Amino acid sequence: MPAVADTGTSCEDLVGTAISADDIGLPTSGAEVTTARVASPNTAGAYCLVEGRIAPVSADAPDIRFRVNLPLDWNGKAVHFGGGGYNGTVVTGTGSVPSAPAGTPTPLQQGYATFGSDSGHSSAEHPGGSFALIEESLVNFAYAALKKTRDVAVSLMETHYDHTPGQTYFVGSSQGGREGLMVAQRFPTDYDGVFSRVPVVNFTGQQLFVNALAEPILDGGWIDAAGIALLDATTRTTCDGLDGLVDGIISRPQDCDVDFEALLCEAGETAGCLTQEQIDVVEQFHAPLVLEYALANGVAGYPGFPVGGEANDWPFWVMGANGAPGFTVNLGADFIRYFIAQDPDFDTVGFDPNAPEWRERILEVSELLDATDPDLSAFHASGGKLILQENLGDNGRSAFAGLDYHASVTEALNKGRTDKFFRAYAVPKADHSGGAGPNDVDWLALLDRWVTDGRAPRDVVLQERGTDRTRPACEWPTWSRYFRGDPDQATSFKCMKAPGFKG
């Protein structure tokens, strides 16, 4: 589509613009623009920065605060940016797409209209997961704010440009990755393409899993930096060479059997080993959580985590400071406290998700939050395309959860049909933020090409940040094995079929 001039309402005149509740696809009390101004030019030119609020239905719920960026030289397309963590801050939409190589122009610099929101609460006013005590805020966080923000943003594009976008994409990582899968499932005709990186797809299962780590960590299982380094060295020694090359990258963690009991301290040992309590935590981290009942969409629990990446990720995500659990475990505690028990003073240590008194609430929350519905037939029928990136060195949430979701879609729709619109890639070594190995590629360009030209991505080349090392991102469930040549070049690897894979 050629560039579209702003033939409608000028930027400054957007201030005070009201969007009727009837023009928003889910219940609100309408929306309004509070500020609109031409922002300082970026490398692609100036844009109209629009901010506003979407009013709630319930008097006790906060507004959804949003931002929309309307480039003066519009390419006729739009990108919705997802959030992170428990959200609570307005997504600016001015940054890069997750995993974009350094120097790649941002979507806004490329002429995309971009937008995002705070998902319906302020983290300053509702810290942690406390917003979940307000029912409308919880539903907004789960999925509703996505639809409301999208409808308002598209309405403003039509007002400003006298034109709606030809293509609308969603991009997000972690929480934003979950949101990307959610819009494909719940609002299948609203988006032409979705890029979802490391999504917290099984949100409820994830939080139940990590919260369960708190008790054994606090009960003697906390591991210091030396112990984490020992774990990292052990997994690399055991698993690194399974892809034909010892290079610090574990390509097949699912095929690696690490004997953690071999690290047990003998009598009198205090260094270079782990206590039984510490080993128990490690083994629990890698073992699945199996519930006595199914969560939404028949999901039975949560998979364990892949081995690898301990030195990079564990000091923050799993083990905190001075014997306390890390960040992801604390997120799980907030989830139990606010989403499930609905009690800010609830003691989350030792919480039993199988206890009968909690099941109804857990299932209710799971139905709202979990982006695990495998029936993407409506998204496919509308022409939607979906790219999933899972990072195998991510210890903030398990890559196996997203890969399990891909498998569930394949089972529901069959492989031939799924391959027409859904591609998944498992990236070795890369961590939750995408560093620690070859990770970067311009997924938005590949997604846009797939949508507009019908050219589907296959095995693409990943770039490591700050180096010249590249590695193929193999279409799951194939994986990269070293063949011959320069070990730092993707051309030296082949994407291999996993044992038993008949695709």
84-96 tens-digit pLDDT? 999 999 999 999 9
- Same domain for 159 and 239, yes or no, is no
The number of domains in the chain is 3
Catalytically annotated residue among 174, 251, 398, 492: 174
Contacts of 410 (CB under 8 A, 6+ apart): 418
Indicate whether 310 belongs to any domain: yes
What confidence score (pLDDT) does residue 149 get?
Answer: 98
> Per-residue pLDDT tens for 313-326?
899 999 999 999 99
Query: Could you tell me if residue 503 is inside a domain?
Result: no
Q: Which of 276, 281, 285 has its CA nearest to residue 303?
A: 285
Q: Which of 192, 243, 394, 448 is catalytic?
A: 394
Residues 186-195 have pLDDT tens digits of 999 999 999 9
Task: Please provide the distance, in angstroms rounded to a whole number, between the alpha carbons at the two ends of the chain.
Answer: 36
Domain-embedded: residue 502: no
Secondary element (H or E) of residue 471: strand 470-473
Q: 361 phi and psi, to 5 degrees?
A: -70, -40
- Per-residue pLDDT at 292: 96
Whether the bond between 477 and the residue before it is cis, its omega within 30 degrees of 0, is yes
Element (H, E) at 290: strand 289-290
Domain hosting 431: range is: 171-201+377-481
Whether 494 maps to a domain, the answer reads no
| Inter-CA distances, 18 with 3, 35, 150, Å | 26, 12, 15
320 in a structural domain: yes
Residues 426 and 360 in one domain: no
pLDDT band at 345 (very low <50, low <70, confident <90, very high): very high
Q: What is the pLDDT of residues 226-281, one digit of tens each?
A: 999 999 999 999 999 999 999 999 998 988 999 999 999 998 888 899 999 999 99
Q: Are residues 319 and 465 in the same domain?
A: no
Q: Are residues 28 and 177 in the same domain?
A: no
Does 394 participate in catalysis according to the annotation? Answer: yes
Do 314 and 389 lie in one domain? The reply is no
d(CA 135, CA 78): 30
Give the residue from 346, 369, 392 where a domain finishes.
Answer: 369
Q: Is the pLDDT of residue 43 over 90?
A: no
Please state, in angstroms and rounded to a whole number, the distance separating the CA atoms of residues 306 and 312. 14
More confident residue, 469 or 459: 469
The chain-wide mean pLDDT, for the chain, equals 94
| pLDDT score for 64 | 98
pLDDT tens, residue by residue, 3-42: 445 468 999 999 999 999 999 999 999 999 999 999 976 5
**Per-residue pLDDT, 458:** 82
In this structure, the answer to whether residues 218 and 143 fall within a common structural domain is no
Residues 367/283, Cβ–Cβ less than 8 Å: no
Q: Dihedrals φ, ψ of 38, to 5°? A: -80, 120
Residue 80's pLDDT band (boundaries 50, 70, 90)? very high
Structure tokens at 152: 């308002």
- Together in a domain, 77 and 128: yes
* Residue of 80, 121, 380, 432 marked active site: 432
- The values of phi and psi at residue 480, to 5°, are -90, 125
The secondary structure of 347-402 as a DSSP string is --TT--TTSHHHHHHHHHHHHHH-------HHHHHTT-EEEEEEETT--SS-HHHH
What pLDDT is stored for residue 437 in this prediction? Answer: 85
190 and 128 co-located in one domain: no
Buried b (16+ CB within 10 A) or exposed e, 260-275: beebeeeeeeeeeebb
- 8 and 62, same domain (yes or no): yes
Judge if 135 and 181 occupy the same domain.
no
Domain limit, last residue, from 352, 369, 386: 369
Q: Map tokens 């009991």 to a residue.
A: 261
Query: Does the active-site annotation cover 432?
Result: yes
Q: Quickly list H helices, 116-221.
A: 135-139, 145-161, 175-186, 203-211, 214-216
Grade residue 341 by pLDDT with cuts at 50, 70 and 90: very high
Could you tell me if 20 and 147 lie in one domain?
yes
Instruction: Note whether 496 and 478 are within 8 A (CB).
Output: yes
Same domain as 316, residue 281: yes
Any domain includes 490: no
